[in-house]
Amino acid sequence: MTLERKVAKVFNLTDENWLKHSNPWSVWTRYSVLPIIIFAFWSRLWIGWWCVIPGLISLLWMFFNPIFFKKPKSTKNWASKTVMGERVYLNRDQVSIPKIHNSPIYKILNTISSTGMLLSIWATVNYSIWGAILGVALAYLGKSWYLDRMVWLFEDMKNNNKAYKSWDY
């Protein structure tokens, strides 16, 4: 079982919920999570321990966002294809992907994104605005580039698999 499949189980990404997550609103609003978490915990200066409430709300938003929106009317857009590509990638242990997509770039991009998240956490603890800005920028640069690679993977795979083709409507 791939790590991505384990993560998908945590987020309850069933077939139906993958389709909901492919709604562009789901994809684009997930970009709000990290800045909201940072702001929520940064607000401990102003509201003390009450900052836990917006922090928990933002974490709940991260968890429920993939299933909050309705199935999109069409998946013929970049945002939807990122989700479909992620689904193809997590399924690589059952359906082989082309060699060009078996490169270490996915790990590199996830490392960049994770480094940005860690820097953001450090910046939040230490009240470093520039650290937070750089951390969010790195996290989103790595994640966005990774998602773009997922679109490429989906485009390469959709015509080779009946199930994948059905996601493209």
What does the pLDDT look like over 18-66, one tens digit per residue?
999 999 999 999 999 999 999 998 899 899 989 999 889 988 998 899 8
User: Please, what is the average pLDDT of the chain?
Assistant: 93
Indicate if the pLDDT at residue 137 is higher than 90: yes
Alpha helices in the chain (DSSP H): 3-10, 15-21, 24-29, 33-42, 44-47, 52-68, 78-90, 105-126, 129-157, 162-166
| Token code pair at residue 64 | 């429920």
Q: DSSP for 25-38?
A: HHHHHGGGHHHHHH
C-alpha distances out from residue 7 to 4, 83, 84, 141, 165, Å: 5, 14, 15, 21, 24
**113 pLDDT band (50/70/90 cuts)?**
very high
| Token code pair at residue 83 | 């989700």
Among 14-23, 142-151, 159-168, the range of highest mean pLDDT: 142-151
Domain ranges, ordered by start, for the chain: 3-166
Mean pLDDT, residues 121-128: 94
What does the pLDDT look like over 73-110, one tens digit per residue?
999 999 999 999 999 999 998 999 999 998 899 999 99
Q: What is the pTM of this model?
A: 0.88
Q: Residue 9 has what pLDDT? A: 82
- Cβ neighbors of 6 (< 8 A, separation 6 or more) are none
Q: Residue 106 has what pLDDT? A: 93
Alpha helices in 69-128 (DSSP H): 78-90, 105-126
| Token code pair at residue 139 | 């996290």
Indicate if the pLDDT at residue 3 is higher than 80: no
Q: Residue 98 has what pLDDT? A: 93
Scored b (16 or more CB within 10 A) or e, 142-166 reads: bbebbbebbbebbebbbeeeeebee
Mean pLDDT, residues 108-128: 96
What type of residue sits at position 34? Answer: L
Query: Rounded to whole angstroms, how far apart are CA atoms 121 and 123?
Result: 5
